[in-house]
Amino acid sequence: MRIHKGLCSSVFVWGVMALLACGQIEAAQKPKPAAKKQPAPRTAPAAKAPAPVDMQALQTQVMLDRAGYSPGEIDGTMGTSTKRALEAYTKNGGKAGALPADAVTAYKVTEQDAAGPFTPIPEDMMEKAKLAALGYASLLEALGERFHSSPALLKRMNPAAKFIAGEDIQVPNVAGTIEPVGPPRGRQSNPSDPAVTTVTVRKATSDLVVTDGTGHVLMYAPVTTGSEHDPLPIGDWKVTGVQKDPKFHYNPDLFWDAEPSHSKATIPPGPNNPVGVVWVDISRPHYGLHGTPEPSTVGKTTSHGCVRLTNWDALKLASLVKPGTKVVFAE
């Protein structure tokens, strides 16, 4: 059959249109691919809330501190130093259950507190020697020393605090009214005779006890003693002098772990001085009882043979001794 040329064209056009329409219908019926899910924006992990303070442990540490049986740095935990101090306290007549209700008190940070000056403290001895003084590195560190506390504890007690002038914060109430178990601090049986007071450092229990001539405990504190490289010199010695805010005469030849490049240097005074705020010299050359810039390490690490206390305990010790006071280093 012969098809008219015009009709053929029309059929072709209509066929094309039908195919296009069919394609459009098919496309319309074909499900569209699901839109690719965009990843949720990343957010920083939420900051961990500070662990709650163990109030019983804090009350125990404040009680011991007030009574003259130092737990070392108050941190709100019943660590080894606190347990040993509590044992010594109860052995000498203290009541372990008489915990103070006023163990925490309010304190307003003053302008003077916040004024500093505060200086970053370098680790290197040669860099320390370049500074004019080794004061506190921060207000938080200064407040920690004042209240015999770890900066971490102060943060836990004041989770929203910025530690700035004018702010009210909660602190351990170390200036309470609990009386020492022994005689009042600083009293001796015979103040004119230093021999009646004895300082005993015990290596096995990492502690120090000061007694008067009648055996009353004037002071108890945790200490850090020597290491295998620099063992505590066991024996009887005497106090030869007391120096507050001492300069430290650094001699690398006396330190087994000194940097080979180090030379002799004078390290300026201050609470971050290697021997803290006080040095009690004894008759054994190069040895003494002293403070520390790192109170959290007392009773937990080793030293270069000397006896290290927290700065506040070292100051208390200095008030109880004088040249001639007997010092016993015991196993």
DSSP strand pairing (265-267 vs 307-308): unpaired
Alpha carbon distance 154, 37 (integer Å): 46
Predicted confidence band at 101 (pLDDT cuts at 50, 70, 90)?
very high
151 shares its domain with 243:
no
Amino acid in the structure at residue 105:
T
Would you say residue 27 lies in a domain? no
pTM of the entire predicted model: 0.81
151 shares its domain with 276:
no
Residue 179 reports pLDDT greater than 80:
no
Report percent pLDDT > 90 for the chain.
67
Residue 194 reports pLDDT greater than 90:
no
Residue 262 reports pLDDT greater than 70:
yes
Ranges of H-type helices in 5-79 = 5-29, 55-67
CATH number for the domain including 199? 2.40.440.10
Would you say residue 166 lies in a domain? yes
Torsion angle in degrees (nearest 10) through CA of 131, 134, 139, 140: 130
Contacts of 190 (CB under 8 A, 6+ apart): 196, 213
Helix (H, G, I), strand (E, B) or coil at 88: helix
Domain boundary (109, 137, 172) is at: 172
Would you say residue 207 lies in a domain? yes
Nearest in space to 199 (alpha carbons), one of 183, 184, 211, 187: 211
Are 247 and 214 in contact, with CB atoms under 8 Å apart?
no
Would you say residue 320 lies in a domain? yes
Residues listed for the chain: 331
DSSP state, 96? T
Q: Exposure of 219 by Cβ count < 10 A (0-12 exposed, 13-18 middle, 19+ buried)?
A: buried
**Per-residue tokens: 73:** 């740095």
Show the domain range for 258. 194-330
158 shares its domain with 213:
no
Would you give the distance in Å from CA 294 to the centre of its chain?
7
Predicted pLDDT at 247: 96
Domain count within the chain: 2
199 shares its domain with 168:
no
130 shares its domain with 198:
no
Nearest in space to 309 (alpha carbons), one of 177, 167, 206: 206
Amino acid in the structure at residue 255:
F
Would you say residue 150 lies in a domain? yes
Please tell me which residue, 276 or 227, carries the higher pLDDT value.
276
Ranges of H-type helices in the chain = 5-29, 55-67, 80-91, 111-115, 125-128, 139-146, 151-157, 311-320
245 shares its domain with 135:
no
Are 97 and 60 in contact, with CB atoms under 8 Å apart?
no
Contacts of 179 (CB under 8 A, 6+ apart): 67
211 shares its domain with 157:
no
Q: What is the 3-state secondary structure (H, E, C) of 226-244?
A: CCCCCCCCCEEEEEEEEEE
Average pLDDT for 121-139: 96
Q: Which residue has the tokens 């507050």?
A: 244
Predicted pLDDT at 75: 98
Predicted pLDDT at 26: 41
Alpha carbon distance 294, 134 (integer Å): 13
Alpha carbon distance 221, 237 (integer Å): 19
| 18-33 confidence digits (pLDDT tens) | 333 334 334 444 455 5
Would you say residue 106 lies in a domain? yes
